[in-house]
Amino acid sequence: MALSYADVVDLADSAPLIAAVRIRNIITVPPEQVGAVTAGTRRLFIEADVVNLIRGEGGISPAVRYLYDAPLDRKGKVPKLKKAQVILFARPGTRPGEIQLVAPDAQVAATPALIEQIRRVTGALLANQAAPRITGLGDAFHVAGTIAGEGETQIFLRTEKGDPVSLSILRRPGQEPRWAVALGEIVDEAARAPEPGTLLWYRLACFLPPALPSRSVRTLPVQDAEAARADYQFVIQALGSCGRTRKQPA
């Protein structure tokens, strides 16, 4: 199954080490030496030569060793992986040359297009002004306009490191609602809705809750609270589906 943009970011964001490798040797680990494994998989000990280091501040050994729980094919056999070129999302192991995959499916077939996408994602993750991780919703505020159908809502987001992020939704009679996300204390004219397939879009589409919680509107009059909830739903619908095809990480 092809990885979606969200799948790639999920893996890259959790992997301090990303490399394209060519598998040189495979040893099936005897069942008596294996602990609990997912049904329909076989644990392999793999030795591979590094072709390209995509991420890894401390560098990487020319050859690496790791364990991989390979999904069995329809005949119940281990797929042919020797000489295959794959991408590994991993963290350093305890010994030189040893690495540990960050997830059971963190070995994926390498293609030029996927490698280029991972490079773009990694660049966005490591940028100085990278979109922060969203951890929840803060307070929401709504100001009704002077005429029916007019109003503005601002919703503050909670982030991992306390970076200021907020959503603003503006409604005007006879116009489509407009919304934007601001990465700063002040919402200015430069604020826009994020483009799908960008890191900021991913942070919102994949981690915002489906509805505005009661605590976010606890200080608002009933009518303003209802308007804020409706505006938040407008944002969620505009963001669209996160698009994950693999299990969401814990």
**Per-residue pLDDT tens digits for 135-152:** 999 999 999 988 888 999
Whether residue 120 sits in one domain with residue 9: yes
Tell which of 126, 146, 176 closes a domain.
126
Task: Judge whether 247 lies within some domain.
Answer: no
Tell which of 74, 103, 126 closes a domain.
126
Whether residue 108 sits in one domain with residue 18: yes
| For range 229-238, the mean pLDDT | 97
pTM value is 0.90
Whether residue 229 sits in one domain with residue 177: yes
User: pLDDT tens digits for 165-215?
Assistant: 999 999 999 899 999 999 887 666 667 899 999 999 999 999 999 999 999
Domain of 151 in residue numbering reads as 134-239
What values do phi and psi take at 69, rounded to 5? -90, 95
Whether residue 14 sits in one domain with residue 121: yes
Whether residue 110 sits in one domain with residue 19: yes
**Residue 15 pLDDT > 90:** yes
Q: How many domains does the chain have?
A: 2
